[in-house]
Structure 1
Amino acid sequence: MPLLRAATTDDLATLESICVLTGDDGADASGTYDQPELLAHHWASPHLAADPSLCTIVVDDDGPVGYLVATADTVAFEAWCERMWWPPLRDRYPLQAPRRDRDQQLVDLMHAPDRTPASVTDAYPAHLHINLLPRAQGLGLGRALIERLVDQLRDRGVAGVHLGVSGTNPRAIAFYEHVGFVRVTTEDDGGIVMGMRLR
Structure 2
Amino acid sequence: MTAAVRPFGPAVVRPFHPADLPGMYRVCLGTGDSGRDATPLYRDPDLLGHIYTAPYPAADPALTFVATDELGPLGFVVATADTYSFEEWQEENWWPGLRARYPSALAVDPEDGTHDWRRVDHLQRTRPHHDDLYVRHPAHLHIDILPRGQGSGLGRRLMSTLTTALRDRGVPGLHLGVGSGNPGARAFYLAVGFTELSRQEWGSQMVMTLD
The equivalent of 1:109 in structure 2 is 122
Residue 70 in 1 paired to residue 79 in 2?
Answer: yes
Percentage identity across paired residues of the two chains:
44
Q: d(CA) in 1 for partners of 2:140 and 2:129?
A: 10
Q: d(CA) in 2 for partners of 1:116 and 1:59?
A: 35
Residue 149 in 1 paired to residue 176 in 2?
Answer: no
The equivalent of 2:20 in structure 1 is 11
Q: d(CA) in 2 for partners of 1:161 and 1:82?
A: 21
AA paired with 1:16? Y
The equivalent of 1:183 in structure 2 is 196
Q: d(CA) in 1 for partners of 2:126 and 2:204?
A: 18
The equivalent of 1:159 in structure 2 is 172
| Partner SS for 1:122 | helix
Q: d(CA) in 1 for partners of 2:101 and 2:109?
A: 13
Residue 100 in 1 paired to residue 113 in 2?
Answer: no
Q: Which moved more, 1:95-104 or 1:16-25?
A: 95-104
Q: Which moved more, 1:159-168 or 1:100-109?
A: 100-109
Q: d(CA) in 1 for partners of 2:51 and 2:129?
A: 14
**What are the within-5 Å matches in structure 2 for residues 17-166 of structure 1?**
17-97=26-106, 100=110, 102-113=115-126, 115=128, 117-166=130-179
Report the TM-score, using the length of structure 1 for normalisation: 0.94
Q: CA RMSD in A?
A: 1.6
Q: How much has 1:119 moved relative to structure 2? A: 2.5
Q: How much has 1:90 moved relative to structure 2? A: 0.4
Q: How much has 1:144 moved relative to structure 2? A: 0.8
Distance change (3 Å), C-alpha of 1:114 and 1:84: closer
Q: How much has 1:99 moved relative to structure 2? A: 5.9
Kept in 1: contact 2:80–2:86 (CA 8 A): yes
The equivalent of 1:2 in structure 2 is 11
The list of structure 1 runs, each at least 4 consecutive aligned residues, that deviate by more than 3 angstroms after superposition, is 97-101, 114-117
AA paired with 1:100? P
Looking at CA atoms only, which structure, 1 or 2, has the larger radius of gyration? 2
The equivalent of 1:174 in structure 2 is 187
Q: How much has 1:8 moved relative to structure 2? A: 1.9
Distance change (3 Å), C-alpha of 1:161 and 1:178: same
Q: How much has 1:114 moved relative to structure 2? A: 5.6
Distance change (3 Å), C-alpha of 1:117 and 1:170: farther
Q: Which moved more, 1:92-101 or 1:26-35?
A: 92-101
Q: d(CA) in 1 for partners of 2:15 and 2:110?
A: 36
**Number of matched residues?**
198
Kept in 1: contact 2:91–2:127 (CA 8 A): no
Kept in 1: contact 2:87–2:127 (CA 8 A): no
Q: d(CA) in 1 for partners of 2:129 and 2:28?
A: 21
Report the TM-score, using the length of structure 2 for normalisation: 0.89
Q: Which runs of 5+ in 2 are unaligned?
A: 1-9
Residue 193 in 1 paired to residue 205 in 2?
Answer: yes
